[in-house]
Structure 1
Amino acid sequence: MIFSSNGHHMVLKLVIVVVLMVLSSTAYGAGSFYDEFDPTFGDHRVQISGPGNRDLSLTLDQYSGSGFRSKKEFLYGRIDMQIKLIAGDSAGTVTTFYLTSDQSTGIHDEIDFEFLGNSSGHPYTVHTNVFSQGQGNREQQFHLWFDPSKAFHTYSIVWNPKLIMFLVDNIPLRVFRNYENHGIMFFPKNQRQRIYASLWEADDWATQGGRVKTDWSKAPFKAYYRNFNIDTSDKGAWKTHDLDENSRRRLRWVQKNYMIYDYCSDWKRFSQSFPPECKNSKFN
């Protein structure tokens, strides 16, 4: 087939546009929630909508919260989810995005993002934790450098044999490393996990240690999820993902300015001895 100069330019532009559309549509997966996830509780409080069924909302009212989970289980990968949290007075609510293996075994593995609501004008607390073989108590908590209820932001979990990394808009919030080569056998690496998300009420502990209760006159509460990406491909960048100089600098900035709790600094809680990985965590 022969093209004129103008025709060639038009075809070239079309190819460029198509490539950009493909890159854009796969940046966050752009899949259907119906294809990849199932509701776990809450019935009609789990609502899927939007073009391609790529938008999902969870609702909490006086009667129930709601949640969903992935149809498939994964051993390692990168999971991205765009989330917009409850606006206004969200005290007592917990919005989650996490991975977990079968909890009925009593020796489950888990990787947690939990967003603890607060009264109007006070920041959310981002609670992170890691479980291995049924043991947790590896919490770090942060405030964010933006209001997570005003717009969607991307929350990511990278999980490979070397590390677990929590990211917000691709900025590392926390790194939890596998130190088994130092004889520290605490790292989730054998059990396949599903993606879970939920919105529920926990006003006995979630907001300022339970001092601030849920104001049900503000119900129903809604959190929004969209544009998930699940990358477990053999050639995925997640397999070798680690901190470079720039991301290490960003991690230090986040932890210096926005970390509000670190289990490795809680002398009262671990008065006898800190978990063994704490002595290495400063080398992230």
Structure 2
Amino acid sequence: MSSPRLFPIALLSLFHCLISAMAGNFYQDIDILFGDWRSQILQGGELVTLSLDKASGSGFRSKNEYLFGRFDMRMKLIPGDSAGTVTTFYLSSQGPTHDEIDFEFLGNSSGDPFIVHTNIILQGKGGKEQEFFLWFDPTKDFHLYSIVWNPKNIIILVDEVPIRVYNNWGIKGVRYPTDQPMRMYSTIWSAEDWATQGGRVKTDWSKAPFTASYMGYNANACVWPSSSSHCPSNSTSPTPGTAWQNQKLGVKGRNMLRWAQKKYMVYNYCTDFRRYPRGVPRECRKSRFM
């Protein structure tokens, strides 16, 4: 379990790791995990496509592990009828008590809105889901999806609009990811038993292969481990003038968050009183916006 007592250790680690700002080349930045020909690096390393058919999905991960940072990916999702598929961009450590910060894009029948499923998994325990409709068609063009992770908070953004914040309140018994380095992962896989309308709409495999595209991966983050350099406190994230190490939402960011959650949130574990009849988790009581 993460504990407030670990915060000084994590903060010290932040300044003893190597900052890495990559807007680079997929050949240099990632390893293909699975999928054989279904995972392809194209255009001289500027583009990756991941495909899914009935035999297998596909995926890749970053070569480096990181302890805190800002992570950006431009993605174009599966066009047409993608029911039953899940396309992801997320951070994760390893093992049964791993930490994880998720973007999962749930496939749909043609014409239906796309749902982005977010989750925070801490010490192997999830259950902190929030889901949103996207306010654009994510299959027509590339859009920017970002995760800011620092010792104070996690901010999840879509096209620079914050849709979710998870704070490190320092509350006893409320976990926060402070001490497990994570890699970036991107995958596509089949989940037709739950992904589209709770599994009521199954995958039409005659439409396979289903293909999503990735570009513009940027990790402005602290590589773990490193003894050769330090992670400077004044380094900036890809957003000009913003230091991700201390990044929190200001007035404008909070207004954007309220807009996104009011208009596009379709599920919030913090308001699921059927799930928590005896009271929602403690972190939910601290703030309206999680």
Name the TM-score, length of structure 1 as normaliser. 0.87
Counterpart contact for 1:81–1:156, Cα < 8 Å: yes
Q: What amino acid is the match of 1:98?
A: Y
Distance 2:279 2:33 in 1: 38
Three-state SS of the structure 2 residue aligned to 1:212 is coil
Match of 2:5 in 1: none
RMSD: 1.3
Contact 1:29–1:227 (CA under 8 A) maintained in structure 2? no
Corresponding position of 1:4: none
Q: Is the 8 A contact 2:89 2:104 kept in 1?
A: yes
3-state SS in 2 of match to 1:137 = coil
**Alpha-carbon separation, structure 2, partners of 1:202 and 1:90:** 11
What is the match of residue 131 of structure 2?
A: 141
- Distance apart, 1:49 and its partner CA: 0.8
| Alpha-carbon separation, structure 1, partners of 2:166 and 2:152 | 9
Larger radius of gyration: 1
The aligned residue for residue 64 of structure 2 is 72
Residue 202 of structure 1 corresponds to which residue in structure 2?
Answer: 191
| Deviation, structure 1 residue 283 | 5.6
User: Partner of 2:248: helix, strand, or coil?
Assistant: coil
CA distance in 2, matches of 1:156, 1:71: 18
C-alpha contact 1:116 1:126 (8 A) present in aligned 2: yes
Identity %: 56
Identify the range of structure 1 (225-234 vs 64-73) with the bigger mean alpha-carbon deviation: 225-234
Are 1:164 and 2:170 an aligned pair?
Answer: no
**1:156-195 deviations in Å (ceiling 9; x for gaps):** 0000000001001111010010111x33431111100000
Q: Is the 8 A contact 1:87 1:150 kept in 2?
A: yes
Structure 1: runs of 5+ lacking an equivalent: 1-27
Instruction: Give the distance between the partners of 1:225 and 1:139, measured in 2 at CA.
Output: 24
* 8 A contact 2:174–2:282 mirrored in 1: no
Match of 1:274 in 2: 280
8 Å contact from structure 2 (residues 66, 183) kept in 1: yes
Q: Whose relative contact order is higher, 1 or 2, with alpha carbons under 8 Å and at least 6 apart?
A: 2
Matched residue count: 253
Q: Residue 252 of structure 2 corresponds to which residue in structure 1?
A: 246
- 1:228 alignment counterpart: 217
Structure 1 residue 56, shift from structure 2 partner: 0.4
Aligned to 2:165: 175
- Which structure has the highest helix share of the two? 1
Q: Give 3-state SS (helix, strand or coil) of 1:277's partner.
A: helix
Could you tell me which runs of 5 or more consecutive residues in structure 2 were left unpaired when the two chains were aligned: 1-20, 222-230, 237-242
Question: Given the two structures, how large is their TM-score scaled by the length of structure 2?
Answer: 0.85
Q: Could you tell me how far 1:262 is from its partner in structure 2?
A: 0.2
Q: Which residue of 2 aligns with 1:214?
A: 203
Moved beyond 6 Å, runs of 4+ = none
- Report the 3-state secondary structure (helix = DSSP H, G, I; strand = E; otherwise coil) of the residue aligned with 1:76: strand
Aligned to 1:106: 96
Q: Give the secondary-structure state (helix, strand or coil) at the position aligned to 1:44.
A: helix
1:262 aligns with 2:255: no
- Correspondence list, 1:23-38, <5 A: 29-38=22-31
Q: Distance in 1 between matches of 2:111 and 2:159?
A: 23
Q: How far apart are 1:139 and its partner, in Å?
A: 0.3
1:163 and 1:132 map into 2 onto residues whose CA distance is 14
Shift of 1:98: 0.3
Q: CA deviation at 1:134?
A: 1.1
* Mapped partners of 1:87, 1:185: distance in 2: 39
Instruction: Report which of the two has the higher share of strand.
Output: 2
2:181 paired residue number: 192
SS of match in other structure, 2:65: coil
